[in-house]
A = this chain, B = another copy of it.
Amino acid sequence: MRRVTNFSAGPSTLPYSVLKKAQAEFTSYQNTGLSILEMSHRSKHFEEILFDTKQLLQKLMNIPNNYQVLFLQGGASLQFSMVPLNLFHRTNHAYYAHTGTWSEKAIQEARKMGEVTMISSSEDKAFTYIPPIHLPNHPSADYIHITTNNTIEGTRYDTIPNEFDIPLVADMSSNILSEVYDVTKFGLIYAGAQKNIGPAGLTIVIIRDDLIGKAPQNCPTMLDYSTYVKTKSLYNTPPTFSIYMTKLVLEWLQKQGGVEGIEKVNKEKARLLYSFLDHSPLFHSKVEPKFRSIMNIPFTTYNAELDQLFIQTALEHDFLELQGHRSTGGMRASLYNAMSIESVRKLVDFMKLFEQSYLLEGNYVSNKDL
């Protein structure tokens, strides 16, 4: 079977062994005679899958007992609304750090429901760094919101600010499970699954007990976190297949030495690419070294036409989805957990060849030269 190297920012590459396992039992899960896709969400088999998935995540992230793990739908975009809807209860006010496209959307949605104060922003330098958080002298808000990793801009908090008395909420969509986080620093963590967790269609929420049950009475049942707590995420039909795939991915992650193990691999992958970028006369990273993402690495030649040529040539060599986000242009390589070191080495080797060929021959690189 043909396999390409897929640098998509999400949905993104999955471990091949996981795909093969899911394929093998696709029409008959564990010889039950039916596909996971056909299985009642209230069947014993599926309830086991749901339970195992939750337990695996609790173990992998070392989630304490006073936190609930919830399985939802709608992606981070729906969490942008569910967070304020559920957590605004005392001051109707929240502090948001503005670090890119996604934090901006989070802010816009929260502003529909209450007051938002932007407590830091890196907009002044096109979001190429993580700004420090400065709270006012007498801070008063229901929560502080950060985006731990900025998928489009390629930045990441190098340390998690946690000297505050106010619950910290994190959009961890693009770097959950990529490195060790101390869950106790957070009041709530949310993440769309389609990057490091599993397929699209599933959203994970990890919420501390004291933040549950604060939604207003007229809150839609499906938007109230307590609905998912009370029903163990089975209020209505959950995205069953996405949850099953997530279980397989988490089992795979466990075999990689858990989050500790994969963090080492991820840091080595990122080091390989950044170290090349920092010495390349052609390719450049715009992000301040201290705040560079280890998951999403944007780069550019500072020449839009040459960027296009690179992306096209890479595609012809089976390196997929290296184009940057449509809002930024340039290139971006997403190196999620399932991307191997070997694949990153191959990418760097290819970039070196492209660069040499370009520098030797001027502003044109034909496919056959590589």
Closest to A9 in B: B40
Q: Which of A110-165 contact B (CB under 8 A)?
A: 112-113
Whether A38 contacts B8 by the Cβ 8 Å rule is: yes
Closest to A112 in B: B218
* Copies assembled: 2
Whether A237 contacts B28 by the Cβ 8 Å rule is: no
Task: Tell me, in angstroms, the Cα distance from A8 to B237 when the chains sit together.
Answer: 13
Interface residue? A241 (CB, 8 A): yes
Interface residue? A41 (CB, 8 A): yes
Closest to A201 in B: B239
Closest to A194 in B: B237
Whether A11 contacts B200 by the Cβ 8 Å rule is: no
Task: Tell me, in angstroms, the Cα distance from A27 to B218 when the chains sit together.
Answer: 44
Interface residue? A19 (CB, 8 A): yes
Q: Which residues of B sit under 8 angstroms from A261, Cβ to Cβ? A: none
Whether B10 contacts A237 by the Cβ 8 Å rule is: yes
Whether A4 contacts B22 by the Cβ 8 Å rule is: no
Interface residue? A32 (CB, 8 A): yes
**In whole Å, how far is A67's beta carbon from the nearest beta carbon of chain B?**
24
Q: Which of B20, B32, B41 is close to A4, meaning CB atoms less than 8 Å apart?
A: B32
Task: Tell me, in angstroms, the Cα distance from A6 to B36 when the chains sit together.
Answer: 12
Interface residue? A303 (CB, 8 A): no
Interface residue? A236 (CB, 8 A): yes
Whether A2 contacts B240 by the Cβ 8 Å rule is: no
Whether A241 contacts B201 by the Cβ 8 Å rule is: yes
Known: A78-B222, A237-B10, A237-B75. A201 touches B4 (CB 8 A): no
Q: Which of A245-284 contact B (CB under 8 A)?
A: 245
Interface residue? A362 (CB, 8 A): no
27 A-B residue contacts at CB 8 Å? A2-B33, A3-B33, A3-B34, A4-B34, A10-B40, A11-B37, A11-B39, A11-B40, A12-B38, A14-B38, A20-B27, A23-B26, A42-B326, A73-B74, A73-B239, A74-B74, A76-B236, A77-B222, A105-B221, A109-B220, A112-B220, A199-B241, A200-B237, A201-B202, A201-B238, A239-B239, A241-B241
Chain A: residues with CB nearer than 8 A to chain B? 1-4, 6, 8-14, 16, 19-20, 22-23, 26-28, 31-35, 37-43, 73-78, 80-81, 85, 105, 108-109, 112-113, 192, 194, 199-202, 217-223, 235-242, 245, 318, 320-321, 326
Question: Which 5 A/B pairs are nearest by Cβ-Cβ distance?
Answer: A201-B239, A4-B33, A81-B220, A73-B73, A2-B33
